[in-house]
Structure 1
């Protein structure tokens, strides 16, 4: 399993991401949850531009750092899971994936709580609609910092290489899913959100109301927010009437505006 994931990780990552991005974008047209406030052409080019720039910058600066950290930890017998040997591989993978998800949840909370980090992360939150393309709208500096943080956690944890690759593929897939502007049957949303983050669950987090923005930080597993008291079931205005985005950034969504946004003065 590990050998397969390592040998084919580029194809698996790109194939899953590209395929799901197209699939969710098409499904949004058929099962739209919330009416759009702007045309796609006003928002999508800037988001895609950030995705390209972020990909280039991360490859130049920190290419393969997460899988590399896992390989280094294994080779040097570093990290909690390596010290706790012998562990059944499946058990080690499960612990690693759950622990990584908690670490990413904590990082997300910090991106909102620390002012200098919020300046970067608000690029993501300034999207005035939320759909699958919002999942790729991250500032390149945030992407690099996130990869460095994740690599440090992976090394400290001693996460298996295969578990890291599987988690990253799953996390990217879930980001596309929970940002998608999809209308799920209420019974299905209730069932899924007991375990994972659904589109309705995450949409609350993109509300213009800061009390709602500062909630529902989950990425993959939904129970972290309940456990740490950060969960909101629904937006106060309801999903159909809620306003998405940030009050201070509602006009420009081109690549240049998004790149310089962290350096602009705005309270939120």
Structure 2
């Protein structure tokens, strides 16, 4: 088994910061859509939400997912800690199960009214770029971490697999929210396995059928398997309306609005 003592949060943060910089540069050079709102205000709000999310996670879950995996291994809890399995099998199964778990979580945030109140903070962004990937309400992030920790502990997941998934999922989230498109046929070819920005952008359309589709972040497998895959937007990538019909004003770019949105009745 690989040495898990060398797993460092700093490595993960460095990879995510590098991915953010690369995707931000590409979308600045080759944007698919023109901005509808002030970019400085939106970026401040979205990045501030990310900072609050990170603070909430560090305060409530200081060990996070990798720490949960290490703790489960020490306690002997979880499937792979109770039953012997080849390390490679435990590694692959962990990646697949965690990706499925996040697909199911995303589906639930659109179907359970209380969860949708939180998740609509993400969808209220009227533009779509790499910072949209950071736009989540802190309460939703805390609930998401509870769900992921439960899955990790139940699996007895290898810590290294959890680390790889966590970093890979974060990079994929940045990639799928970026305001650029893969060239030519590369988009459709990539979609046979992985979610692309053009596929996930449909999920941020204000049309209900399109909003309730394309829940995957890494693999397209789950959307295809469960019938939630939509290949194209009715109005096309450039002309479809991003956001929610209930909130179309400039207030959606404000931090205070985003934090209070789950508690409004509309």
Secondary structure of the residue aligned to 2:185 is helix
Find the counterpart in structure 2 of residue 134 from structure 1: 132
| More deviation, 136-145/178-187 | 178-187
Task: Give 4+ residue runs of structure 1 displaced > 3 Å after superposition.
Answer: none
Q: How big is each residue's C-alpha offset from its partner over 1:28-58, in whole Å with a ceiling of 9 and x where there is no partner?
A: 0112112222231231111111111111111
Contact kept, 8 Å, 2:57 with 2:64, in 1: the verdict is no
Which residues of 2 match residues 12-31 of structure 1 at below 5 A?
A: 12-31=11-30
Distance 1:256 1:219 in 2: 27
Find the counterpart in structure 1 of residue 224 from structure 2: 226
Distance 1:186 1:234 in 2: 15
Find the counterpart in structure 2 of residue 264 from structure 1: 264
Q: Is residue 105 from structure 1 mapped to residue 83 from structure 2 by the alignment?
A: no
Q: Is residue 148 from structure 1 mapped to residue 131 from structure 2 by the alignment?
A: no
Secondary structure of the residue aligned to 1:186 is coil
Q: Output the aligned Cα RMSD.
A: 1.3
In the TM superposition, residue 17 of structure 1 has moved relative to its aligned partner by: 1.1
Contact kept, 8 Å, 1:51 with 1:137, in 2: the verdict is yes
**Would you say how many aligned residue pairs link Structure 1 and Structure 2?**
264
| More deviation, 76-85/166-175 | 76-85
Which residues of 2 match residues 1-268 of structure 1 at below 5 A?
A: 2-3=2-3, 6-85=5-84, 87-251=85-249, 252=251, 253-266=253-266
In the TM superposition, residue 6 of structure 1 has moved relative to its aligned partner by: 4.5
Distance 1:52 1:162 in 2: 25
State the TM-score, normalized to the length of structure 2.
0.95
Q: Show structure 1 runs of 5+ residues with no match.
A: none
Secondary structure of the residue aligned to 2:218 is coil
In the TM superposition, residue 2 of structure 1 has moved relative to its aligned partner by: 4.2
